[in-house]
Chains A and B, each alone.
Chain A
Amino acid sequence: MLTKQEKVLHSKHSALHDFIDGSKQSLPIALGYFPVSFTFGLMAVKGGIPVWIVILISMTNLTSAGQFAGTNLIIAGAGLAEITITTFVINIRYMLMSLSLSQKIVEGIPGYKRWIMSFGITDETFTVAAMQKKDITFSYMTGLEVLPYIGWAAGTAAGAIVCTILPESLQNSMGIALYAMFIALVIPAAKKSKAALIVAGCAIFISSLIKWVPVFSAVSGGWRIIIATFIACTIGAKLFPMEDTANE
């Protein structure tokens, strides 16, 4: 039996361990964010928004598509309602991610910690956390979120301040970084699980359909991801309700 003191010591040790674990896994995310947020910084400053506000946007929003769209609308002189609604619609996908993670975090995490760790949920931190074999602790999640947050803010600041030093061809090529990372996440999973392969395949098919069939041209990128996710997951859950992806 462990004494009370030993138990406290033990839990502190594993919290630090989880934090470091999360930080290590988040390094590629932070590096991947840098060029994207750099581009954001460039774009926003070129659009006439003051440097400190541009950095503030990245530090309070911490999202790519949503803040790109919102900032474009600010630059275009759109109304507050349009800016708010567009940003919200693009971000609704986070509800699905947050819901999915709520099922994967260890039990008994107090409310305020849930409010803190939710702030850093992005497409990338979510997918890395969701692919974890173990349940997620608060320490792991915050470890996973800190470096990408810094990378996102620092990239924005660099882009906003430096403006245009990188040659355009290199900036263009960096656009593929995050997609390549997504591919590195999904393909090894799809190799091991038929269900994952089918779900991802369905989502790709539906997403392409919405993008390319003219009838759906009014559907925004945010809704496209939500619709594709919803249909693909329904198909997956109907076909393979037994597979417990959380404990693979």
Chain B
Amino acid sequence: MNNTLIAVLLMALVTYFPRVLPMAVIKNKIKSRFITAFLGYVPYAVLGAMIFPDILTSTGHLLSALIGLGIAVILAYFEKSLLKVAVCAIAVAYICEMIISRV
């Protein structure tokens, strides 16, 4: 129990530390064009790397994940809201899961 609390405290520290360090230390705009462009691209790269391939194992089966992925891509292409895309992907994945479990 005591050990669990210490573990939780340590986890909280090593989670907060990387979040706060750059923000607290770097107070000026970086001048280098390369680094500015690099940092500007970080969100796109992080998103890409987080989506794929992890999304394939995000549901019960590969098939429901693939179909959910397809729906999300189509709706996102037509610039539907975040919530709409997420809810539709869940719904489609859920229907697939139901069908798969019946077969």
Q: Which residues of A contact B (CB under 8 A)?
A: 27-29, 31-32, 49-50, 53, 56-57, 60-63, 66-67, 70, 74, 80, 83-84, 87-88, 91-103, 105, 107, 111, 114-115, 117-119, 121, 123, 126-127, 130-131, 168-170, 172-191, 195-196, 199-204, 206-208, 211-212, 221, 224-225, 228-229, 232-234, 236-238, 240-246
Contact = CB atoms under 8 A, between A and B. Distances in A.
B23 A98 contact: yes
A84 B11 contact: yes
Contacts of A212: 53
A83 B7 contact: yes
A176 B89 contact: yes
11 contacts: A67-B11, A91-B19, A102-B27, A118-B16, A170-B97, A176-B55, A191-B77, A195-B41, A199-B41, A206-B49, A245-B41
A45 B9 CA distance: 18
Q: Which of B35, B86, B88, B101 has the most CB of A within 10 A?
A: B86
B44 A196 contact: yes
Nearest to A95: B18
Given A84-B14, A176-B68, 20 more contacts: A32-B82, A50-B1, A80-B3, A84-B11, A96-B42, A98-B19, A126-B43, A169-B60, A177-B89, A179-B69, A182-B47, A184-B84, A195-B41, A199-B45, A203-B45, A203-B49, A206-B49, A207-B53, A229-B49, A245-B44
A179 B72 contact: yes
Interface of B: 1, 3-12, 14-24, 26-27, 29-30, 33-55, 58-60, 64-65, 68-69, 72-73, 75-77, 79-91, 93-94, 97-98, 101
A237 B43 CA distance: 13
Nearest to B14: A88
Contact of B65 (A61, A66, A176, A241): A176
Contacts of A211: 53
Given A87-B14, A99-B22, A183-B69, A232 B82 contact: no
- By secondary structure, the A interface counts as helix
A207 B38 CA distance: 18
A207 B40 contact: no
B29 A103 contact: yes
- By secondary structure, the B interface counts as helix
Contacts of B55: 176, 179
B69 to A, nearest CB: 7
Contacts of B20: 98, 114-115, 118-119
A242 B34 CA distance: 8
A101 B51 contact: no
A94 B7 contact: no
A99 B40 CA distance: 10
Q: Which of A101, A176, A190 has the most CB of B within 10 A?
A: A176
Nearest to A108: B27
A66 B15 contact: yes
Q: Which of A100, A130, A190 has the most CB of B within 10 A?
A: A100
